[in-house]
Amino acid sequence: MKNDFLSTIAAVSTPRGKGGIALIRISGEEAVATAGRCFSPKCGKKVSELAPRTAFFGDIVSDGEAIDDGMITVFKAPASYTGEDLVEISCHGGILVTERVLEAVFKAGAVPAAAGEFTRRAFVNGKLSLTKAEAVGEILEAKSDAQLKVAGAKRRGAMSKKLDEASHSLTALIADVYARIDYPDEDLSEIGDDEFARRANEVRTSLIKLRDTYRAGSAIFEGVKTVICGAPNRGKSSLYNAIAGEDAAIVTDVAGTTRDVLERDIPLGKVLLHLTDTAGIHETSDTVEQIGVKRAEERLYDAELVICVLDGSKPLTEDDSSLFEKLKDTVAPKIAVLNKCDLAAAEIALPKGLFEKEVRMSAKCGDGIDLLKKAVEDLFIDEKINTSSDAMVTNARQFASLDEAINLIADAVSTAKGIGADLAASDLERAVATLSELDGKAVSENVVAEIFSRFCVGK
């Protein structure tokens, strides 16, 4: 059912399944009246008479019969999550009873909420900026502590603050230019072309710094396509298991055990890896192995990170040297893992300039996994970024809007130096509009719909 913001919506906001309690959320102009038709407080008052933001015990009723008992809390607009009147009913967390309570709410006048509609209403009613709303979705989908920290900072306004500062600075500069044009006889401060360029470039530099956090933000949220490669019997599958934290790949002493590609999304420290374990890359006459080797080589050239596993207890072989030649044609950063450090270490001379990082470890024993974690983070996460508090760009939409604003400011600076600040101000106006769209102050309905379509029902 398609809803508009004039309707009163309801949904279960806790995960479906058996649990201690379930929470049904109702939002809209008729939320209190709707709840009053299906909830009878034990205190003797009507739901409309209950003190806001206070929990009350009572019966949940349907067709005049009590179907459960639970708690009700009323939040009056605008002091609620959605900015509308909002009611939360907690009932026992059984699957059937939860469905019956939700049905009672629908019978009382509510309609089913669409995916993400509660948060979308919060955005429309000015309770959340668009980047804060996106952060809510990121918190719900978080797979790592790093994602939780970055999304939490964004939810608290780290990104919105940076965008507001840039917009205010550009707006002030535009106002100074237009004031001089509109009131030439007034004693206003002169905004020369050089001063205009200086102030505009200050904002541009700030936005570039923010935009460039996307490398780290993308590594944390969108993930890095990572390929584990190496000749047979180097411990690739043992490393895959060590990163996964479980026996996800079969490990034996027989070379060539892994003959196909294994894939999994696994957080390693702050970085989300789209991790692929491949067959040992070597010359072989075995038809099945040849297919596995070909697939492994194909993955190498599509990778964003290559982890090359070598036997650190033995000298390099022809298979290792042949793999090095193949790696020279790949553009992804590479980490050499000298595995089996629990055995006697061999003297190994790696090709100069081929690997960005070198790690000695024992995948079988788990020793050195923290060194690998740090090596990966060093490649993708700027150590100056505080993931708990700094603003970070975490998706392509944010990156594209920032990049467009930066280019518009650059155009304005170029125009100011070549023609004059008067004509350059229009480019700054477009930059401000782009920043406003980025944080939802002026954004298309299609963009909003796409963002909130990724939310679960009930949030």
pLDDT at 122 (0 to 100)? 93
Encoded tokens for 33: 């009246």
pLDDT of 31 > 90? The answer is: yes
Percent of the chain with pLDDT over 70: 85
Residue with token string 């019966």: 59
Q: In order of start, what are the domains of the chain with their CATH numbers?
A: 9-129 (3.30.1360.120), 151-213+393-440 (1.20.120.430), 227-380 (3.40.50.300)
pLDDT at 248 (0 to 100)? 47
pLDDT tens-place string over residues 356-398: 999 999 988 888 999 999 999 999 999 889 999 999 999 999 9
Long-range contacts of 14-20 (CB under 8 A, 24+ apart): 14/93, 14/458, 16/95, 16/98, 17/93, 17/95, 18/93, 18/94, 18/95, 19/93, 20/92, 20/93
pLDDT of 399 > 50? The answer is: yes
pLDDT tens-place string over residues 196-217: 889 999 999 999 999 999 999 9
Average pLDDT for residues 11-17, to the nearest whole number? 91
Average pLDDT of the chain to the nearest whole number: 87
Alpha-carbon span 124 to 145, nearest angstrom? 29
pLDDT at 35 (0 to 100)? 97
CA-based nearest residue to 61, from 19, 91, 17 = 91
Alpha helix stretches (DSSP H) within 328-380: 369-380
Answer whether 92's CB lies under 8 Å from 70's CB: yes
Q: How far is CA 79 from CA 13, 24, 88, 207, in A?
A: 19, 18, 14, 33
Sign of CA dihedral 90, 93, 94, 95: positive
Q: Find the radius of gyration of the CA atoms of the chain.
A: 29
Alpha-carbon span 218 to 130, nearest angstrom? 18
pLDDT at 1 (0 to 100)? 37
In this structure, what are the phi and psi dihedrals at residue 40, rounded to the nearest 5 degrees? -120, 105
| pTM of the predicted protein model | 0.79
Alpha-carbon span 183 to 38, nearest angstrom? 64
pLDDT of 260 > 50? The answer is: no
Cis peptide before 267 (omega within 30 of 0): no
Alpha-carbon span 348 to 363, nearest angstrom? 18
Least confident piece of the model among 188-192, 334-338, 362-366: 188-192
Average pLDDT for residues 425-452, to the nearest whole number? 80
pLDDT at 41 (0 to 100)? 97
pLDDT at 156 (0 to 100)? 93
